[in-house]
Structure 1
Amino acid sequence: MDAKPARLSRTVLTEIILPADTNYHHTVFGGRVMQYIDKVATIASMRHSRRGVVTASSDSLDFFAPVKLGEAIQLEAVVTWTHRSSMEVYVKVESENLLTGEKKTTAESYLTFVALDEKGQPTPVPAIIPETDEEKRLFETAAARYEARKQRKAERMAHTF
């Protein structure tokens, strides 16, 4: 299976924040942002693997700033690293005031997806070829995140009720 450039998985999702998307502070619900993150990361991982995928984990979701009513939210996802059947996906979330053009990074997240074959079983995925400086940085730091995920999972399994 040939490795693929990370750029081929890059996916962008843009939405406008409407009243139904907001809380009583007139900022987007965190759960709505989580939904957008899962959606854009799913598309990126399917583009990379050309398989159906499932979300295996969400390592982190760090919020830096609110997205306000009437602003655009833009999410950019890219597969940063792969293991046998799993893919790490990085998602960057930005907001844009559509009247002034001001943009800010509002959140970022790392998720893991597993590619599935026709029988619903994990199946191998191509390796990643990072090209840009950002892709290289994400790729070089991914193995440490993978090991941290494994450690967290092992600790949870040891402490189940």
Structure 2
Amino acid sequence: MSDIHKHIEESQVTLSELMLPSHANFGGKIHGGYILSLMDQIAFACSSKHSKYYCVTASVDTVNFLNPIEVGELVTLKASINYVGKTSMIVGIRVEAENIHTGVKKHCNSSYFTMVAKDDNGNGMEVPGLILDSKIEIRRFLKSASRLASKKHSKFQETNFEVEKYISELKNHNVIVDYKGYK
């Protein structure tokens, strides 16, 4: 690991943007794809600020659209580094919308973007570690580490998946199994 460690505040980024009619979907609400694009931008900014390298999106984990965003609302995205590995970082993002007439704010979305630091040749680069100095920072780091560990140790990995072993788990789901490769 890098000998350099940073406080989370050193790489936090906030982005605010007024939602325009051109950002709306056919239902009159702000298009989820537009919000995802803003989230990707802030994840890039936060991870690049932390690592001092160009960063690419490796994965997006759990995007839940909690409340719709209206045209005319001020959307604010807040990004923090929640976890660092050797070359990767998990960026936690919170999206809020504010009615600029009433001042009422609502939580619209939270997500986690895994970003990887790259050099000019596309090679992964080591990223600085984190200095965790609050209960919430420790909780977020450990939660991200736990999520990563469960992904790596899933019993449904493609390379070792055996249908016979798990077929009974489908009985309580709304599916019809028409697969002839098992007995």
| TM > 0.5 fold call | yes
Aligned-partner Cα distance in 2 for 1:31–1:18: 14
Which structure has the larger Rg?
2
How many pairs were matched up?
Answer: 158
User: What runs of 5+ residues in structure 1 fail to find an aligned partner?
Assistant: none
User: What runs of 5+ residues in structure 2 fail to find an aligned partner?
Assistant: 162-183
Residue 56 (1) aligns with residue 58 (2): yes
The equivalent of 2:173 in structure 1 is: none
The equivalent of 1:132 in structure 2 is: 134
Q: Deviations over 1:69-111 (max 9, x none)?
A: 1001110001111111000000000000000000011000001
Alignment of 1:13-24 (within 5 A): 13-24=15-26
Cα shift at 1:56: 0.4
Task: Specify which of 154, 157, 160 is matched with residue 155 of structure 1.
Answer: 157
Aligned-partner Cα distance in 1 for 2:56–2:30: 25
Task: Specify which of 65, 82, 92 is matched with residue 67 of structure 2.
Answer: 65
The equivalent of 2:38 in structure 1 is: 36
Aligned-partner Cα distance in 1 for 2:160–2:36: 28
How does the TM-score come out when normalised to structure 1?
A: 0.91
Alignment of 1:51-130 (within 5 A): 51-130=53-132
CA RMSD of aligned residues (A): 1.7
Aligned-partner Cα distance in 1 for 2:66–2:153: 26
Cα shift at 1:151: 4.3
How does the TM-score come out when normalised to structure 2?
A: 0.81
